[in-house]
Structure 1
Amino acid sequence: MEIALGVLDMAPDDFWGMTMGEFTAKFDGWQERNGGKAKVKPPPMTKAELDALRDHYPDGGSIKSPKQDT
């Protein structure tokens, strides 16, 4: 909120009416326009990385990964 109200000079109602994606896009644009680096997205997660996270952080829910269906 400090960035929105201070740095970006937004009205509080505008800030609270935004989604996180909208705010992030606004701030990324501000950074790029003011000499910051353009945002570089990391590559998408591989299936092996996703499976490792699922194994490490099981949620106990009813949705099972294909690995658990066998």
Structure 2
Amino acid sequence: MIPTANEFVKMFKTPKQENVVRFAKVDPNYTSGRPSLIFDGETAVTIKRYPYLASYTPQANDRVMLIKNVIVGVIT
């Protein structure tokens, strides 16, 4: 079967790109350890706890930036 023009173009599009940079808020109930987050556009706290750079100390309600799922710091 010969593809249509649109099908042909779709065959060469790049796959969906991964979100490398993401923004979130630290769980309001955070006290210690790796924090759970609430990502922008979501309302639920994640089950997963995220690692962070040693130069950053998480605090409840911090707005943070993640690169490849590692918290790199607070957004002020």
Greater RCO (CA < 8 Å, at least 6 residues apart): 2
TM-score by length of 1: 0.23
TM normalised by structure 2 equals 0.23
